[in-house]
Every structure is written in structure tokens, then in C-alpha cells.
Amino acid sequence: MPRKLVAAIDVGGTTVKAAVYETAGDRPELVTGSRTATELSGSPTESVANQVARLVGELTAEVGPVLAAGVVVPGIVDEHAGIARFSANLGWRDAPLRDMLRLRLPVPVAFGHDVTAGGLAEYRIGAAQGCTSAAFVPVGTGIAAALVLDGVPYRAGGLAGEFGHIDIGHGLTCGCGATGCLEAIASASALGRRYAERTGRPAEGSLPVVEAAATGDPDAEEVLGDALAGLAQGIRILASLLAPEVVVLGGGLFSADSLLDRVRVLVEEKLPFQRKPELRVAALGDEAGCLGAALLAADLLAGT
Ligand SMILES: [Zn+2]
């Protein structure tokens, strides 16, 4: 089978993951990859577009030419228009990033949203493989959801999937300015922040809180319990509204099955007649975005 290489770039707020995949088979196979700090000097869009072009140049110098590139970015992304609408971390607004990338790269460019691309990868080759409808919920610094409904990614011009900003009824203010958002008690950063506020002991992200809860620390257990209950409430809303067969949970919080089991109990106890979604741990880890970008590039080549 001839080699069918594509470049895949996952631009994050702090790190850019770049890789080349062989896409001749059903599942992209990693050929080579790199991680570098996101470069943000001057215009953030110019800076990121230049960095992506340079990284693709470096990778192809190493392994040979690629046929296409898939580039995914965070925030609100309108893939159809090729516009990066908004990213708080990267500081851009209504940026014509797809065109900027096409000007800089010598191959066709597929442009997309990081969480949606990760969800596409989990749906096609990961934890939600074989399903018709699924939600992919990575729990990280923020919380978003990628939705596949009846086999089709649901995007609404990049505005769908703001799962972290569902109002679950608490009184805390979210970074978005509203109160009650899921993200304000259940994101990895919220867990660390809430634990530090209660105890005066610093906690970076969710891991120290999970570890402290496992040793019986009551403050850690309460903060963690709030987060899991909030996630369960959000998932029940998804179940009632969209009835996904599967909800795939990602991020460090769900690297072990034990917390997933707790969320499952909380979800199922209040769904009297709705379809109870199967909860699964994400299969692709933090490679999901790059794998999704590779799938987008392969789709572009296939004309789908
Ligand atoms: Zn919010």
C-alpha cells in the first residue's frame, strides 16, 4: 500500500503538538511527532500560523512530504467558514486562520476545533467506536463537549458544546462571568483552586485533590464530591436532551475507573426513563486532538 502521510497539528494555549501520521489504513499511525511551546509574539494569529508552517516544514524534512495538513485550535471555531472566532488563551477574535495557513503551507489544509477533532477521533477509532450518538467531555483547565448525533458532528458554527457553562445551580462565579457554571466547580483548575481556598494548602490541578481524597482528607473529598456531582448533573441534562449512547470522559480526573464509577451511580440514580448513557474513559489520551487533525486531513484528501 503506498504511503499516505499527513501532518497533524494541535495548537494549545501553552503547547503545540505536531505530528506526521500514515493514514493509508483505518487508523492513523504515528510516524513522528514533537511538542513545542506555543509562540505568541506580536499578532497571535500570525505567530501561530508561522509556527505551524515551520513545524510542518521541520517534520517533512525529517520523514518526507505530506499530502495534506490538519490543524486544530481551541476556543470557538467555525470550521465551515475557516474562522477562529475566539480564544481567551490565544487572544484572537474572528481570525481567518484557515486562509492564513493555506497561504503558508504547500499542501491542502483541513482546519478544525481541538475538542471536536478529539471527539471525532474517539468516535471513529477510540472509546466511542461503533456508536451512533456520543458526547466526548475532556475535563481539563476548562470543560467542553464534542457531540456526534446520529453519526454527524453537531457544531452550530462552533457555538455548540459549551458543556462547562451549563448552570448547575451553585453560587460561585465562573471565569465567563456567569454564576453556577459546571466548569467553576468541576474543571481540573477549579478543583485545585477550591481545595487551596479551603485548606490554605496549594494544589495544582485535580491530581493532588484526588490523591488527598483517597487518603481520607475531608476537604478534598468534599471538593471532589462537588465536582463529580456537578458532572453527573450535566450528564443527566445531556441524557435527557440528546440521549447519547455513550459519554466519553477524558482528562486526568478519569485516568482511573473509580471516579467514573462514582459519576455513573450519580447519573443513573436520577434518570427514571431516559436512556442511561454508558460512561467510558477516553481511549486516546492527549493524542486525541492530533489524531482528529490527522483524520480531518485524510478526509480532505478523500473528498469526504
Ligand atoms: Zn461559565
Rounded to the nearest angstrom, the distance between the alpha carbon of 239 and the centre of ligand 1 is 21
Rounded to the nearest angstrom, the distance between the alpha carbon of 255 and the centre of ligand 1 is 25
Rounded to the nearest angstrom, the distance between the alpha carbon of 303 and the centre of ligand 1 is 37
Rounded to the nearest angstrom, the distance between the alpha carbon of 139 and the centre of ligand 1 is 14
Nearest Cα residue to 187 out of 242, 244, 251, 123: 251
- Per-residue pLDDT at 149: 96
Rounded to the nearest angstrom, the distance between the alpha carbon of 209 and the centre of ligand 1 is 22
**Quick one: which H or E segment has residue 279?**
strand 278-281
How far, in Å, CA of 164 to CA of 192, rounded?
Answer: 16
pTM of the model: 0.94
Rounded to the nearest angstrom, the distance between the alpha carbon of 26 and the centre of ligand 1 is 37
Rounded to the nearest angstrom, the distance between the alpha carbon of 76 and the centre of ligand 1 is 14
- Per-residue pLDDT at 287: 95
- Per-residue pLDDT at 13: 87
What confidence tens digit (pLDDT) does each residue in 139-166 have?
A: 988 899 999 999 999 999 999 999 999 9
- Per-residue pLDDT at 1: 62
- Per-residue pLDDT at 151: 92
Rounded to the nearest angstrom, the distance between the alpha carbon of 177 and the centre of ligand 1 is 6
Burial class (CB in 10 A: 0-12, 13-18, 19+), 92: buried
How far, in Å, CA of 34 to CA of 172, rounded?
Answer: 39
The C-alpha cell 499530502 sits at 67
- Per-residue pLDDT at 129: 96
Rounded to the nearest angstrom, the distance between the alpha carbon of 25 and the centre of ligand 1 is 40
Contact 141, 88 (CB under 8 A): no
How far, in Å, CA of 285 to CA of 252, rounded?
Answer: 9
- Per-residue pLDDT at 124: 96
Neighbour-count burial for 274-298, b at 16+ CB within 10 Å, e otherwise: eeebebbbbbbebbbbbbbbbbbbb
Rounded to the nearest angstrom, the distance between the alpha carbon of 160 and the centre of ligand 1 is 14
Ion ligand 1: residues, CB within 5 A, are 165, 174, 176, 178, 181
- Per-residue pLDDT at 275: 96
Residues of the chain with confidence (pLDDT) below 50? none
**Quick one: which H or E segment has residue 55?**
helix 44-63
Rounded to the nearest angstrom, the distance between the alpha carbon of 170 and the centre of ligand 1 is 12
Rounded to the nearest angstrom, the distance between the alpha carbon of 142 and the centre of ligand 1 is 9
- Per-residue pLDDT at 154: 94
Contact 254, 238 (CB under 8 A): no
DSSP 89-111: TTTEEEE-HHHHHHHH-SS-EEE
Rounded to the nearest angstrom, the distance between the alpha carbon of 174 and the centre of ligand 1 is 5
- Per-residue pLDDT at 88: 83
- Per-residue pLDDT at 254: 87
- How many CB atoms lie under 10 A from the CB of residue 118? 31
Cell of 72: 486544530
